[in-house]
Structure 1
Amino acid sequence: MLQETTAAAAAQTGGSNAAALSQMGFGNLLQEMLSNPGHFAVSWAVLLTLTLMSVLSIYWIVTNFIKNVRLKGTSDRVISTFWETPNAQDAIRFMEEQPRFEPFSKIALDAAQAAAHHQRHEGSRLVESLNRSEFVDRALRQGVTRESSRLESGLTVLATVGSTAPFVGLLGTVWGIYGALIRIGASGNASIDAVAGPVGEALIMTAIGLFVAIPAVLAYNFFTRLNRVTNNKFDTFAHDLHDFFATGSRVGEVGKR
């Protein structure tokens, strides 16, 4: 009889523990937060902050992905067409027809406008203070810096999300466990069915923080690598443009003449 009673108690305890462990999901956490929003004010602030971080991260990931795909599809064509066009005016006209997001055409137009501006003011103080090469070089530097800055748009947000989201989630976990311990101490019930639910729900905040941070970190590293390659292409193109607008031909073409 005693064995039967012990077995029944163990079965009841096991069933209670299993039920407690099954109430550790995000749905249970959300239900608790909705039922008592004032008590979970910090948890709500953490959850809303992580949601905002996730939305911003996804937005900049998609935006930068589309930007890099378009850039990869147009950059080589724009550069090759510019150098293959025999007439400089036709090449400049082709650059003017490119969409606003295309950076190589904007850099070329900066150099062309600088060269034309310098030529129109020959004999003035501008020409006396800066020669043609220096004037074009300054315009190219400004153009490359501007387009490089545009490439990096959103990367600061991704870096911030990747570095801070885990700590925001950890804050939610620490505060949730703190509140759970206070409730457990007030009730005087420290069994597994009373502890597992609140503690498990609090740990979900850390998991959410990691889910928000990991894509942001991976995307930041990926786009930083792509931007480094593109910036190298900016520099190479800018050097060729400087040679062209300062001397009338690229360096490789000078040796062929």
Structure 2
Amino acid sequence: MGFGHLLNEMTAKPGEFAVSWIVLGSLVIMSIGSWYYTVVNWLKNSVIRARAEKVIRTFWDTPNPADAIRAMEEQPKNEPFSKVALDAAQAALHHQRNEGSRLVESLNRSEFIDRALRQAVTRESAKLESGMTWLATTGATAPFIGLLGTVWGIYGALIRIGATGQASIDAVAGPVGEALIMTALGLFVAIPAVVAFNWFVRMNRDTNAKFDSFAHDLHDFFATGSRVSDATGKR
């Protein structure tokens, strides 16, 4: 008696076990999605974190701003820090080219660059959130979906026991035990999703902090022509 036996019964009586099939299918889909986003986000975050310091250092260590921007353009399309730097550079250039226009009158150079940087950081931060909703939803709902399967399975088992008139412990233990497997499956799906979600939240928080720090230095550089931190000698 076990999960294999439960599957055999569900296959033999698909109509009677329709709810159980729906629950099982939902848990399988949620588990596949959770593991997919876990692997994809782990690879994505690992690559971003591994390249972050190198990209930032490349930008600041390049003496010529034009060469620094060219180095950012050569970065992979999915590298976020270079995209933030390019947006800041494009905003500064666009503002410079429109001197004397209503754009310059309504927003000074600092405000225009700041707005571009905020949009860039928000965009790149949103990309880090891919799959997080799925992981959170799976972690929160999978145990209850499994519990629904258990309740329905126990209900069906009790109906069958009542119909046969056998109420011994041997007759009750098997069907009820099989129904409880659904709860175990729900936990098996939910726990990895919760662990992955909390892990990625921490990783994203660290990456977002680096976004903010880099954007702050970029704002100083493109708004004033030099990093404020350079002038103070703190970095």
| TM-score of Structure 1 vs Structure 2, range by shorter chain | over 0.9
2:120 pairs with one of 143, 157, 167: 143
Residue 192 of structure 1: how far off its partner (Å): 1.9
Q: Does 1:134 align with 2:111?
A: yes
Which residue is equivalent to 2:142? 165
Equivalent residue for 1:226? 203
Q: Do structure 1's residue 118 and structure 2's residue 95 form an aligned pair? A: yes
* Aligned residues with identical type, % of pairs: 73
In 1, the alpha carbon distance for the partners of 2:75 and 2:230 equals 26
Say whether 1:208 aligns with 2:146.
Answer: no
Q: How does 1:179-190 map to 2 (within 5 A)?
A: 179-190=156-167
User: After superposition, where does 1:34-73 map in structure 2 within 5 Å?
Assistant: 34-73=11-50
Which ranges of structure 1 fall in alignment gaps of 5 or more residues? 1-22
Find the residue that maps to 2:166 and give its secondary structure: coil
Distance 1:168 1:253 in 2: 56
Find the partner of 1:104 among 81, 98, 106.
81
- State the Cα deviation string for residues 179-225 of structure 1 (Å, max 9, x = none): 00011011100112211111011000000000000000000000000
Q: 1:238 aligned to 2:205?
A: no
Instruction: Mark the runs of 5 or more structure 2 residues left unpaired by the alignment.
Output: none
Q: How far off is 1:254 after superposition?
A: 2.7
After the TM superposition, list the runs of 4 or more consecutive aligned residues in structure 1 that deviate by more than 6 angstroms. Answer: none
Q: Once the 2 structures are TM-superposed, how far is the Cα of residue 253 of structure 1 from its aligned partner?
A: 2.1
Q: Tell me how many residue pairs correspond in the alignment.
A: 233
Tell me the distance in 2 between the aligned counterparts of 1:103 and 1:169. 39
Does the residue aligned with 1:179 lie in a helix, a strand or coil?
helix
Partner of 2:9: 32
TM-score, normalised relative to structure 2? 0.98
Letter in 1 for 2:117: L
